């Protein structure tokens, strides 16, 4: 079988653990994972080899029960404009469990993907802002419903990529669902809590109201994967912004699945865009992009040159910047801390007279 030879030629990779309860088949020793710079052809061949290897392993598995079924594995792509395109660069990188076993090849987003994502976000933003607050709240609540429905799937993914106990993974999923519900309930209350009727000294009616700033670039933390991504996306969009979020490294797996949740939640395409890959590679392009209005540096380590450089780049068009906080506790009550930075305040005057 030529495929087997081909597989042997390439660096041998362990089979991906089956999605269902079937015992993982580990024929070869785990290997270090490295980011690929392969051409499209190489990546495709490798993908095929992996899948082929899986088929081989499943077939050749000595300890499996007689009627072992091969699984159909998901390809992880980017989430841009409501669709799931591959990276225009054709690159991918292997996501492995903390134990080293292969989980999936995630798409490695490029600067052009980032450019496309910003365009998609800008295109979607004004419609999202014009939706009623009620409608936005309903959609965020729907995301929570869809997420709850996939609790088991997410818990397994989180346990795998973060290398934590399944119980802790479930706790993270529950926290993420509850956080979507928390933010859903904010949509139609922000104007009441952050706005004001101002008693100016003259015959003028004067009112201040919050408005979305526009397109926000979010650098999600590497961990906690789902909760961190939720905690940067939900507060940014609840007020009517559209976002481009970078989910780094292994966080790609739950991130793309979260994209699937959003795609089935009536969220208009382009309101949330998810790029998986390398924060250090993508962030400078987003931070310097003149059509991005704000930037959340959560996923960048504090005090590093990168954090400072990104803030300098952002200053070019006076982006609103949220700096990273060392040792930030993502499970703590966030309050309005991630909503307010991405809202502007508009004050309107009108005379009062007959």
Q: Which residues bind another protein (CB under 8 A)?
A: 133-134, 137-138, 141, 178, 181-182, 184-189, 191-193, 205, 336, 350-354
CA triplet 250, 289, 79: central angle to 5 degrees? 40
Q: Is 132 exposed, middle or buried (0-12, 13-18, 19+ CB in 10 A)?
A: exposed
* Nearest CA-CA partner of 277 in 109, 147, 127: 109
Nearer to another protein, 170 or 182 (CB): 182
Task: Name the minimum Å distance from CB 144 to another protein.
Answer: 9
Q: Quickly count helices (H) and strands (E) in the chain.
A: 11, 10
Task: Name the minimum Å distance from CB 187 to another protein.
Answer: 8
Strands 320-322 and 92-96: unpaired
Task: Name the minimum Å distance from CB 205 to another protein.
Answer: 5
Nearer to another protein, 60 or 197 (CB): 197
Nearer to another protein, 93 or 180 (CB): 180
What tokens does 158 get?
């989180």
Q: Helix 166-184 to helix 225-238 angle, to the nearest 10 degrees?
A: 0
Tokens 């307010």 correspond to what residue? 340
Nearer to another protein, 75 or 135 (CB): 135
Task: Name the minimum Å distance from CB 59 to another protein.
Answer: 47
Task: Name the minimum Å distance from CB 289 to another protein.
Answer: 31
Task: Name the minimum Å distance from CB 58 to another protein.
Answer: 41
Nearer to another protein, 33 or 207 (CB): 207
Strands 215-219 and 272-277: unpaired
Nearer to another protein, 114 or 236 (CB): 236
Nearer to another protein, 1 or 354 (CB): 354
Cα distances from 167 to residues 152, 170, 171, in angstroms, run 11, 5, 6
What distance in Å separates the CA atoms of residue 221 and residue 296, rounded to the nearest whole number? 10
What distance in Å separates the CA atoms of residue 110 and residue 209, rounded to the nearest whole number? 37
Task: Name the minimum Å distance from CB 209 to another protein.
Answer: 13
């Amino acid at each position: 079988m030529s495929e087997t030879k081909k597989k042997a030629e390439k660096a041998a990779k362990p089979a991906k653990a089956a999605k269902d309860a079937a015992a993982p088949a580990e024929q070869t020793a785990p290997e270090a994972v490295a980011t690929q710079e392969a051409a499209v052809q190489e990546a495709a061949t490798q993908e095929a080899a992996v899948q082929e290897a899986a088929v081989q392993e499943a077939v050749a598995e000595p300890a499996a029960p007689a009627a072992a079924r091969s699984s159909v594995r998901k390809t992880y792509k980017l989430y841009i404009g409501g669709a799931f395109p591959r990276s225009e660069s054709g690159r991918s990188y292997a996501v492995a469990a903390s134990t080293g076993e292969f989980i999936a090849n995630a798409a490695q987003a490029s600067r052009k993907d980032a450019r496309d994502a910003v365009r998609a976000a800008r295109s979607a933003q004004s419609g999202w802002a014009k939706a009623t607050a009620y409608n936005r709240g309903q959609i965020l609540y729907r995301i929570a419903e869809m997420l709850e429905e996939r609790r088991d799937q997410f818990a397994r993914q989180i346990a795998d990529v973060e290398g934590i106990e399944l119980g802790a993974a479930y706790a993270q999923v529950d926290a993420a669902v509850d956080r979507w519900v928390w933010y859903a309930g904010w949509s139609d209350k922000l104007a009441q809590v952050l706005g004001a009727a101002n008693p100016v000294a003259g015959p003028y009616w004067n009112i201040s109201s919050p408005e979305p700033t526009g397109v926000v670039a979010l650098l999600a933390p590497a961990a906690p994967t789902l909760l961190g991504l939720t905690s940067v996306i939900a507060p940014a969009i609840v007020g009517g912004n559209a976002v481009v979020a970078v989910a780094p490294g292994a966080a790609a797996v739950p991130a793309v699945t979260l994209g699937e949740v959003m795609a089935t939640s009536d969220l208009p395409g382009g309101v949330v865009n998810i790029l998986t890959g390398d924060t250090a590679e993508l962030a400078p392009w987003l931070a310097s992009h003149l059509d991005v209005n704000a930037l959340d540096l959560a996923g960048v380590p504090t005090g590093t040159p990168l954090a400072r450089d990104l803030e300098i780049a952002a200053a070019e068009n006076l982006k609103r910047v949220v700096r990273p906080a060392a040792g930030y506790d993502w499970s703590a009550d966030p309050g309005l801390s991630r909503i307010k930075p991405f809202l502007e305040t508009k004050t309107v005057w009108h005379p009062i007279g007959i």
